[in-house]
């Protein structure tokens, strides 16, 4: 199993921050339920970025073969939470599209 190094993890966090900025800025082109749904999506992406940022791969061995059970569980939990929030953000984006 390959490790998810700090650079890749930072890209995950950075992409969610970019999604928040994009949705907040461009939501002004919509109104009503479409705008509300885009802003809810932005909120879910912000929560996801925060959840991912809380988990830091720093201090964990670079090679996955040397991770402890706790290292693996912490990363799995962080990714599961990110997946849950990502699904909610996507659902809100789909609601926004449907409302247009």
Give me the residue spans of the domains in the chain: 6-99
pLDDT attached to residue 84: 98
Q: Is the pLDDT at 97 greater than 80, yes or no? A: yes
Instruction: Please write the tens of the pLDDT for every residue from 28-86.
Output: 999 999 999 999 999 999 999 999 888 877 767 777 778 889 988 988 999 999 999 99
Single pTM value for the model: 0.87
Q: Which residues of 5-36 are buried (b: 16+ CB within 10 A; e: fewer)?
A: eeeebeebbeebeebbeebbeebeebeeebbb
């Amino acid at each position: 199993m390959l490790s998810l190094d700090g650079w890749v993890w930072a890209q995950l966090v950075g992409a969610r921050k970019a999604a928040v900025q994009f949705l907040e800025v461009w939501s002004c082109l919509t109104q009503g339920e479409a705008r509300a749904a885009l802003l809810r999506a932005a909120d879910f992406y912000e929560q996801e970025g925060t959840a991912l940022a809380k988990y830091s791969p720093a201090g964990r061995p670079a090679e996955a073969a040397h991770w402890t059970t706790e290292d693996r569980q912490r990363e799995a939990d962080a990714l599961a939470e990110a997946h849950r929030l990502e699904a909610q953000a996507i659902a809100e984006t789909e609601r926004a599209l449907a409302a247009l």
